[in-house]
Amino acid sequence: MALDALSDVSDEALLVAYGNGDRAAARALTLRLTPRVLGYAARILGGDRAEAEDVAQEAMLRLWRQAPAWRQGEAKVTTWLYRVVTNLCTDRLRKRRGQDLDSIPEPEDDRPGAEAGLQETARARALDAALQTLPERQRQAVVLRHIEGFSNPEIAEVMDIGVEAVESLTARGKRALAAELAPRRAELGYEDG
Amino acid sequence: MADKAEKRPLDEAELDRLFEAARSAAPAPSDALLARVMAEAEAEMPVAHVAPAPPARRRGWLAGLIAGVGGWPAAAGLVGAAVTGVAIGVASPQALERLSGGYLSPGGYALENLMPSYAGMLGEG
């Protein structure tokens, strides 16, 4: 696979190349972006793997369809794509609210087990559970900032809000997480306070 | 959660370690999902751009003639040769008559006798 040859090429250049019929660019973008959007969708949707896969596939499909009209320098591919994922997740969560709770599948957990570090796994699980207790917008902002690594201006673009609103959402979200996880200090390997 | 209020909230560094753990525990996409995404990419992929051939232009008779003799460089050669021939004919240099000897003027005709109108017209000879 010629993925190494394209690892230095930006998402934007790859998308333009795909728009010009470059198959290798399609493969590179698929392998680069699908894991990211899947991980983000899974966290926002609360661990429903099948639903997260549907969202990831739909977001990527919209990206392929956007390619012919894409102009380099106008936007970042990741910002555009995460915005699509965020909106798709919001739609799904809205529909879910009208559903019977029992019809929603339990979150699947296919993370690596003991060999990858029980403590790390326990921490990731505890954080995911605590994230689900946050209001949706706080959850989005915290995940985008602290797990996906976006800057505040980028998050503002993804969420279609101002930078100050992003700062407020992440600050409130983190305070809520810190309080939510306080009783689980021992489980997380932290000393009791 | 009676003990929730009694516990100290996690500090910034403790939260950061949780975020770090979450980053490394991101779910990996299944091969089936990657295959579906790639299949859609190929289905939606625009056809590779190939520069369209310029439309064939109608050529005038002169362009056709020039192309027939090998293009403008060849035409320039032909014109040069024709002009040289005319110049030689008009000037009828002695050397040429000597060279051609009796062949060109077997009955005592000079070269200019073959084309008197040229000589008369140009006032030479």
Where are chain A's structural domains? 1-100, 117-193
- HEC-encoded secondary structure of chain B: CHHHCCCCCCCHHHHHHHHHHHHHCCCCCCHHHHHHHHHHHHHHCCCCCCCCCCCCCCCCHHHHHHHHCCHHHHHHHHHHHHHHHHHHHHHCCHHHHHHHHHHCCCCCCCHHHHCHHHHHHHCCC
pLDDT over 90 for what percent of chain B? 26
User: What is the predicted pLDDT for the residue at A23?
Assistant: 94
User: What is the predicted pLDDT for the residue at A134?
Assistant: 96
User: What is the predicted pLDDT for the residue at B7?
Assistant: 79
CB pairs under 8 A between A and B: 137
Note the CATH number of domain A117-193: 1.10.10.10
pLDDT digits (tens), chain A, 193 positions: 445 578 889 999 999 999 999 999 999 999 999 999 999 999 999 878 999 999 999 999 999 999 998 887 878 999 999 999 999 999 999 988 776 555 555 555 555 544 457 888 899 999 999 999 999 999 999 999 999 999 999 999 999 999 999 999 999 999 999 999 999 998 898 887 5
- Map out the domains of chain B as residue ranges: 63-122
Average pLDDT over residues B94-121: 56
| The token pair that represents B30 in the structure block | 């299944």
C-alpha–C-alpha distance, residues A65 and B114, integer Å? 82
Average pLDDT over residues B61-89: 68
Q: Which of residues 61-100 of A touch B (CB under 8 A)?
A: 61, 64-65, 67-68
Residue to test with chain A: of B6, B23, B31, B37, most A Cβ within 10 A: B37
Question: In this complex, do B10 and A177 lie within 8 Å of one another by their Cβ atoms?
Answer: yes
List b or e across A85-98, with b for residues whose CB sees 16 or more CB atoms inside 10 angstroms: bbbbbeebeeeeee
C-alpha–C-alpha distance, residues B108 and B62, integer Å? 43
- pLDDT (tens digit per residue) in B30-71: 999 999 999 999 999 987 655 555 555 556 666 666 666 777
Question: In this complex, do A193 and B21 lie within 8 Å of one another by their Cβ atoms?
Answer: no
Distances from the Cα of A86 to the Cα of A137, A159, A171, A175, angstroms: 10, 7, 20, 22
User: What is the predicted pLDDT for the residue at A114?
Assistant: 47
User: What is the predicted pLDDT for the residue at A191?
Assistant: 80
User: What is the predicted pLDDT for the residue at B121?
Assistant: 58
| The token pair that represents B14 in the structure block | 């403790």
Among chain B residues, the shortest Cα distance to A38 is held by B29
C-alpha–C-alpha distance, residues B125 and B116, integer Å? 9
- Residue B15 predicted with pLDDT over 60: yes
pLDDT over 70 for what percent of chain A? 88
Q: How many CB atoms lie within 10 A of CB A116?
A: 13
ipTM: 0.86
B15: chain A residues, CB-CB within 8 Å: 146, 174, 177-178, 181
Residue to test with chain A: of B3, B12, B16, B33, most A Cβ within 10 A: B33
Query: Which of A4, A155, A143 is CA-nearest to residue A76?
Result: A155
| Count of positions (residues) in chain B | 125
- Residue B2 predicted with pLDDT over 60: no
Q: How many CB atoms lie within 10 A of CB A73?
A: 6
Cross-chain CB nearest to A124 (options B9, B25, B28): B25
Written out in words, the top-level CATH class of the domain with range A1-100 is mainly alpha
- pLDDT (tens digit per residue) in A133-157: 999 999 999 999 999 999 999 999 9
